[in-house]
Amino acid sequence: MNTKRKICVVTGTRAEYGLLQPIMQAIKEDQVLELQLVVTGMHLSPEFGLTYKTIEDDDFEISEKIEILLSSDTSIGVAKAIGLATISFSETLDRLKPDFIMVLGDRFELLAVAQVALVSRIPIVHLAGGDVTEGAFDEAIRHSITKMSQLHFVTNKESEKRVHQLGEDPENIHLVGNPGLDHLNSLKLMEKNELEKSLRYSFKSQNILVTFHSVTLDNAPAVNSFSALLEALDSLGEDIGIIFTRPNADTEGRQLIKMLDEYVEDRSNCIAYTSLGQLRYLSTVALVDVVVGNSSSGIVEVPSLKTPTVNIGDRQKGRLRADSIIDCEPITENIKESIQQAFKLDCSTVVNPYGDGNTTERVLKVLREINHPERLIKKHFYDIDFEYS
């Protein structure tokens, strides 16, 4: 009889999978824990690279594939995707009967998963709760998942405090760091020649890695900010190499992808990828001169590789930052000036506030030591003493 504790990990995007992968691998190899894996969202879309194949190539067995994306990136399309995910996950979790659901972050797919787990009385393990991203509806989703979760693995001290402020039991809040940094302790990054061959791209004397996503709470269309970014990149000249990774399946995401593809087609110094994969992505970060855009990776992972980040707009507003982050408005001239400033920035002594790359070990220690997961279901709201006027 199998007595292992079943941990069902849910992933819907390439970036999220890259963060979860070290923990998934450790669960897979553990003597006490058993990995179940549910893949959904962008992983199953040809438009976004069918990245479930990367997961299979990494020798993970996928327990269930759940298709939820519609051919629309409007707010209605996203809302319908959440509804479809809720229906589908209710059937999947009933079949798998996990002891825990594990989710990371704030994607809309995970809101559906958390709702199903809540009413199904399955404890939720939430990674990276308590972070702040004021420019996107991701923040509200993240805090909502926190309130539905029983175990909290936070990435930094400030986030630990916020989860406590939300009324969660301090004994169930664990400061572990960001799991995405664990790769830096285990992966051997690619040398320049090897990476160029893999990417079919020759690095210039100076190079930029760009990832730009929709800012879902902005009144102005995301295409306006993206146009400003593209104009700023154009002004740098053709001697600068530019490597793009395509946006997520968010509101307006497909419009941004269309603009990006048209831009790259007309410029010999540019190239775009739907997904680089974790090894190629981190290797590229280590070799370029600056990372530009509004992705959380520029805030969380990039500082550990001593590469400066130009963070555009409000999508990551409120996140804890290393000294290698340069914030700017989504205005062409501001972006251009910030990139030029980043080219000159020395990041050799930068300390990443998101941890030391040993997150997986801390997470598994907690999961192994919980004897009766069902006891976590009923939660007590833990008040904080403060003066209210």
Question: Does position 23 have pLDDT exceeding 70, yes or no?
Answer: yes
Q: What would the pLDDT profile of 88-107 be if each residue is shown by its tens digit?
A: 999 999 999 999 999 998 88
Average pLDDT score over residue span 379-385: 88
Question: Does position 73 have pLDDT exceeding 80, yes or no?
Answer: no
Rounded distance between C-alpha atoms, residue 117 and residue 93, angstroms: 8
Bigger pLDDT: 101 vs 374: 101
Are the C-beta atoms of residues 18 and 180 closer than 8 Å to each other? yes
Max Cα separation, the chain?
A: 65
The per-residue pLDDT for 387 is 64
Q: What would the pLDDT profile of 296-347 be if each residue is shown by its tens digit?
A: 899 999 999 999 999 999 888 888 899 999 999 999 999 999 999 999 999 9
- Which band of pLDDT confidence, cut at 50, 70 and 90, is reported for residue 179? very high
Are the C-beta atoms of residues 257 and 246 closer than 8 Å to each other? yes
Rounded distance between C-alpha atoms, residue 143 and residue 110, angstroms: 12
Rounded distance between C-alpha atoms, residue 167 and residue 164, angstroms: 5
Q: Both tokens of residue 228?
A: 């400003």
Average pLDDT score over residue span 369-383: 89
Question: Does position 288 have pLDDT exceeding 90, yes or no?
Answer: yes
Rounded distance between C-alpha atoms, residue 200 and residue 262, angstroms: 19
Q: Both tokens of residue 145?
A: 């998942």
> Which CATH code for domain 5-177+358-376?
3.40.50.2000
Q: What would the pLDDT profile of 107-125 be if each residue is shown by its tens digit?
A: 889 999 999 999 999 999 9
Question: Does position 354 have pLDDT exceeding 60, yes or no?
Answer: yes
Task: Identify residue 116 by its one-letter amino acid code.
Answer: V
Q: Which residues touch 77 (CB under 8 Å, ≥6 apart)?
A: 70, 71
Question: Does position 15 have pLDDT exceeding 90, yes or no?
Answer: no
Question: Does position 46 have pLDDT exceeding 90, yes or no?
Answer: no
The per-residue pLDDT for 40 is 94
Bigger pLDDT: 256 vs 117: 117
The per-residue pLDDT for 59 is 95
Rounded distance between C-alpha atoms, residue 314 and residue 327, angstroms: 9
Task: Identify residue 302 by its one-letter amino acid code.
Answer: V
Beta-strand pair 309-312/290-293? parallel
Average pLDDT score over residue span 60-80: 86
Distance of CA 164 to the CA centre of its chain: 22
The per-residue pLDDT for 122 is 96
In the Cβ-directed half-sphere of 341, how many Cα atoms lie within 13 Å?
15
Name the percent of the chain lying above pLDDT 70.
95
The per-residue pLDDT for 373 is 84
- The one-character DSSP state at 129 is T
Task: Identify residue 363 by its one-letter amino acid code.
Answer: V
CATH architecture of 189-343: 3-Layer(aba) Sandwich (3.40)
Rounded distance between C-alpha atoms, residue 265 and residue 303, angstroms: 31
Rounded distance between C-alpha atoms, residue 366 and residue 379, angstroms: 18
User: For 121-130, 236-245, 254-263, 358-367, which range has the lowest pLDDT when averaged over its residues?
Assistant: 254-263
Question: Does position 202 have pLDDT exceeding 60, yes or no?
Answer: yes
Question: Does position 215 have pLDDT exceeding 90, yes or no?
Answer: no
Q: Which residues touch 230 (CB under 8 Å, ≥6 apart)?
A: 259, 263
Which of 137-141, 295-299, 372-376 has the highest average model confidence (pLDDT)? Answer: 295-299
Rounded distance between C-alpha atoms, residue 164 and residue 146, angstroms: 10
- Which band of pLDDT confidence, cut at 50, 70 and 90, is reported for residue 200? very high
The per-residue pLDDT for 1 is 47
Rg of the chain taking only CA atoms, in angstroms: 21
Mean pLDDT of the chain: 91
- DSSP E strands, the chain: 5-11, 33-40, 64-66, 100-104, 124-127, 151-154, 173-175, 206-211, 240-245, 270-273, 290-293, 309-312, 325-328
Task: Identify residue 267 by its one-letter amino acid code.
Answer: R
Question: Does position 293 have pLDDT exceeding 80, yes or no?
Answer: yes
The per-residue pLDDT for 135 is 67
What pTM value is reported for the model? 0.82
Bigger pLDDT: 134 vs 360: 360
Closest C-alpha to 287, from 311, 269, 305, 309: 305
In the chain, list all ranges with CATH 3.40.50.2000. Answer: 5-177+358-376, 189-343
- Which band of pLDDT confidence, cut at 50, 70 and 90, is reported for residue 2? low
The per-residue pLDDT for 349 is 96
- Which band of pLDDT confidence, cut at 50, 70 and 90, is reported for residue 219? low
